[in-house]
Structure 1
């Protein structure tokens, strides 16, 4: 510097950059920030180029770039753009992991999970995507070894395998956890193994002519689908006129009183092949896969069964 002493001491560098003196001294001792000059007393001095180098070091360290990589960037052995791209990818993975952690914590809080449930939830959410798929595949493979009805169920379930995305929403994560619990449940497997296939509309109303039965089921499906789309709960007062109208149509077609006995008989007919737990599984799959739920494509029978069996003032449920 034309014979002049570089202007910056370690203290000056610290004041200008906010980096502690001890850290700057470490950088200098390791050769990452060599002094530009030493005074007769051996004190280190640094020029403006060293000041800029220190600022670059500080930025890279704040971005979590390790010292070895930082040295290679400063020495020109690595392009900063390459390092930035690699660390951006790593940061994205860390952010994704933190988001998943946040969602798991929210789910634990909402459920009031026990320590055992929390351990299971954490383990299930840590599975890689291929491990999650294998978990479902093993469940379906087990169904194949059961009764013919179970094999039919497995074939249907294979048409829509739940696939949790890497960055799921809170609803998707909660749905995946419920699916994982269902497929680990022996009772759920048994219900699938012994489930009957739902009858065709024309066969769903014993005692009625095929075309009459088909019309009755079609009208019930349309009415219930509209109620489901409107968010009407089967136990609510809003469901009463709809259910009474459906029961009245069945009573007229079958020549039976529109009383509790008919309501229970109808509920039993609509139960065939429509296990509410299986219907719940399908809804969970739609949520995990972020599919648009079209009410007309979902089973209407569980809603109607619950509505038919909901006690109403002045209506005695048949035994």
Structure 2
């Protein structure tokens, strides 16, 4: 072969931008083979070595190992297949790094201790299957007893929390709080009672007699009071409470006395437990749903107002 058509390592280095040392390494690894030798014994390479080295350099910069690069060059693997597989691997790494970033930021925002940070990291990096098992255990422990309300189970299961693979800081914090909440036996009992009421669309003994119009009227009065910034423990709340107590007493055929007020408060406490409402808020955050405060009944406000003088 005419030596004028061949390139020395130095010339190849100038054409490709790779160092002589790097080209020699690839040559020693038999990834780029010399086409011949100079009279002095130096390796010489043909023109095909230039695009071959450029491809090797590009794939290596993309993080593809040398063994895989060589299989691509030998046409044992298609370039498309390798790039696609590597892109998926990079996606997984990106998701993992984003999870770590979210955990770090959430831990910093919450002022978490090292132990709490470790727990947060373990919970977030758990697989989707592991997270689903955690929720299934909660559902079984809460509604797995004989006689559980089927509608309540269906309602809770339809809104199963599912942490995304690329969670935000808010979703990480909500997921950690949610896992603590669903593991609490007292909360499970509260959830069981409240879900049965909510699934039926009415509040225990109240809804059986009070019509939809009164229920909607109650919701509007509470919403207006809350929007106006009225504290349930202030005197400004008294007209709202007295109005509602009188209307429910008439609908239920009861005397609007202190005993009836206490009974009303007890009914709403079961149907709209604050810890249960917090569960639904956390589920919405974890699932990435838009949290609309007014969708969560403000009955906690009414309960506090009813209990003010008790």
Q: TM-score, normalised by structure 1?
A: 0.77
The alignment status of 1:318 with 2:272, answered yes or no, reads no
Match of 1:314 in 2: none
Equivalent residue number for residue 26 of structure 2: 27
Alpha-carbon offset, residue 54 of structure 1: 0.9
Offset at 1:302? 2.1
Q: Is the helix fraction higher in 1 or 2?
A: 2
Superposition deviation, residue 32 in structure 1: 0.4
Aligned length: 301
| 5+ long unaligned stretches in structure 1 | 311-316
Q: 1:278 aligns with which of 276, 279, 285?
A: 276
User: What's 1:304 paired with?
Assistant: 302
Matched, 1:219 2:217: yes
Separation in structure 2 between the aligned mates of residue 115 and residue 154 of structure 1, nearest angstrom: 37
Question: Pairwise mapping of residues 61-72 of structure 1 onto structure 2 (< 5 A)?
Answer: 61-72=60-71
Distance in 1 between residues matched to 2:301 and 2:36, nearest whole Å: 84
Q: Is the 8 A contact 2:261 2:306 kept in 1?
A: yes
CA-CA distance at 1:185 after TM superposition: 2.3
1:249 maps to: 243
Quote the residue 2:90 is aligned against: 91
Compared with structure 1, are the counterparts of its residues 234 and 118 closer, same or farther at alpha carbon in structure 2 (3 Å cutoff)? farther
Whole-angstrom CA distance in 2 between matches of 1:126 and 1:234: 43
SS in structure 2 of the partner of residue 4 of structure 1: helix
- The alpha carbon displacement at 1:2 in A equals 3.5
Describe the shift of the 1:265–1:44 C-alpha distance in structure 2 as closer, same or farther (beyond 3 A): same
Question: Where do 5+ consecutive residues of structure 2 fail to align?
Answer: 250-254
- Find the counterpart in structure 2 of residue 108 from structure 1: 107
Local SS of the residue matching 1:158: helix
| Contact 2:241/2:306 (8 A) holds in 1 | no
Alpha-carbon spacing, 1:80–1:222, altered in 2? closer, same or farther (3 Å): same
Determine helix, strand or coil for the equivalent of 1:162: coil
Q: Distance in 2 between matches of 1:266 and 1:194?
A: 16
Tell me the residue number matched to 2:206: 204
Question: Does the aligned pair in 1 maintain the 2:37–2:43 contact within 8 Å?
Answer: yes
CA–CA distance in structure 1, aligned partners of residues 12 and 124 of structure 2: 47
- TM-score w.r.t. structure 2 length? 0.79
RMSD, matched Cα: 3.7
**Does the aligned pair in 2 maintain the 1:121–1:177 contact within 8 Å?**
yes
Q: CA deviation at 1:226?
A: 5.6
For residue 28 of structure 1, report the CA deviation from its aligned partner.
Answer: 0.4
1:162 corresponds to: 161
Q: 1:165, CA displacement in angstroms?
A: 2.3
Identify if the C-alpha distance between structure 1 residues 139 and 109 changes in structure 2 by more than 3 Å, giving closer, same or farther: same
Bigger mean CA deviation after superposition, 290-299 or 112-121? 290-299
Q: Deviations over 1:166-222 (max 9, x none)?
A: 2233333322222111112233234345668479469439xxx955x8655432301
Query: Do the aligned partners of 2:163 and 2:287 also contact (CA within 8 Å) in 1?
Result: yes
